[in-house]
Amino acid sequence: MRDDAALEDNDASPCASSAASCVTLPLAAARTLHLAAQGLLAPPRRKATSDDVLNAIRRMAQLQIDTIHVVARSPYFVLFSRLGAYDMRWLDAHLAAGHLFEYWSHEACFVPIEDYGLLRHRMLDPSGMGWKYAAEWHARHRREIDALLQSIRENGPVRSSDFARADGDKGGGWWDWKPEKRHLEVLFATGALMVAQRHNFQRVYDVAERVLPNWNDARDLPTRAEAERTLLLRTALALGVLRADWAADYYRLPRRPYAQALHALADAGELIPVRVAGWKPDAFVHRDHAPLIDAAANGTLASTVTTLLSPFDPVVWDRKRAVTLFGFDYAIECYTPAHKRKYGYFALPILNRGKLIGRVDAKAHRAQRVFEVKALHLEPGVRISGRLVSDVRRALQRCADWHETPELRIGEAPHGLADALLAQTLQGDA
């Protein structure tokens, strides 16, 4: 009989309560499984296609949205890290075609449309969504919100920009939205409106029954328990290796212990329990990744990718997980006052052959066609070798070329690295 209390204790013996025996993996193998699951095992061997964009999102399970664009906006950049150069219009086209939908998943995310039902319970009862659902605003302005919904139903899709501010009111950021924008966000949170498409990255809202005409709650909605079970499996599949203390973050599930649920999935054959050297908590691998476990453990499977990552990439968006897997403590600093920043406004982590070795504070100057590396910071203990210089140089240039800012300018960097990167730049131009 399973001791549920023991299962929630991080000191419990890993795998002890699951029927299957488990292997012990070195930490490097756990990293490899994670990067393989995320599509960051090997560089792309051919030009990307539109289908590759959709498949990459399905592999990650979701693609976080952010509007900052000192380099490419985050959802486009996350895809570049996996696919190399591709046409950013393909992401917008998949949304417009109904292959994706937007909702509060990890945060605001593009999610494969087949997973709509897994998040539908949040729309039907948004009370637990915190600031993402303005319940007080909804109660106070219900009449205007209902009228706006009816107007969209009768007259067609709208954007927030379709509504003018009062004379002289310029607004002050997301905390100072005009009333109609707040109304739209309420209707989006409750699922009455969906994002039908984006124009210049602006949401175009339409009623859910037009965006998703074939959905029927009575017929199609899974139970909450079924939805949560599937979300846990999606998380395991996307992360490659999963611990109970990581389970809630990926889809922002309720903060509670998940060890018992993960062991039950292991007992059902959906997950494979494993040990990871140096970890006390149990770990699990999705059964679809079973063929990779032995190769990751013996080192015959390893990541050969060198690329820059978005601050909102799944690899780094959970700070504690990134520390545990990579020994890499990452926090985005764009919301930090300039004088308190350590690495820069929008520092991009550098993934190099299975390790996070540093970060680049970059800016794409599109009009000047210049990709500026304001600063490049390496992690303590990273040795500057000829291979590392070559890897990083190529990764920077690929990123610059994709941004159509092919001139690479390198500012602050560890002693000797800027000169070495510049020397390779000059050799490449010769």
pLDDT, mean of residues 190-200: 97
Residue type, 264: A
Task: Give the confidence band of 5 by pLDDT, cuts at 50, 70, 90.
Answer: very low
Query: SS3 for 79?
Result: helix
* pLDDT tens digits, 315-351: 999 999 999 999 999 999 888 998 999 998 899 999 9
Average pLDDT, the chain: 91
Closest CA relative to residue 95, chosen from 204, 227, 213: 204
List Cβ neighbours of 171 (8 Å cut-off, separation of 6 or more).
Answer: 165, 177, 178
Return the H-helix or E-strand segment holding 96: helix 89-96
What is the pLDDT at residue 6?
A: 39
List Cβ neighbours of 296 (8 Å cut-off, separation of 6 or more).
Answer: 25, 29, 30, 32, 33, 36
First to last CA, the chain: 70
Gyration radius of the chain's alpha carbons: 23
Task: Give the confidence band of 176 by pLDDT, cuts at 50, 70, 90.
Answer: low
Instruction: For the chain, give the percent of residues with pLDDT over 70.
Output: 90
Tokens of 109: 């995310």
CB 318 within 8 A of CB 249: yes
Task: Give the confidence band of 425 by pLDDT, cuts at 50, 70, 90.
Answer: low
* pLDDT tens digits, 217-267: 999 999 999 999 999 999 999 999 999 999 999 999 999 999 999 999 999
For 306-429, CATH number? 3.40.630
Sorted by where each begins, the domain ranges of the chain are 4-38+255-298, 43-239, 306-429
Residue type, 148: L
CB 254 within 8 A of CB 128: yes
What is the pLDDT at residue 335?
A: 87
Q: Distance (Å, rounded) from C-alpha 150 to C-alpha 147?
A: 5
pLDDT, mean of residues 21-42: 94
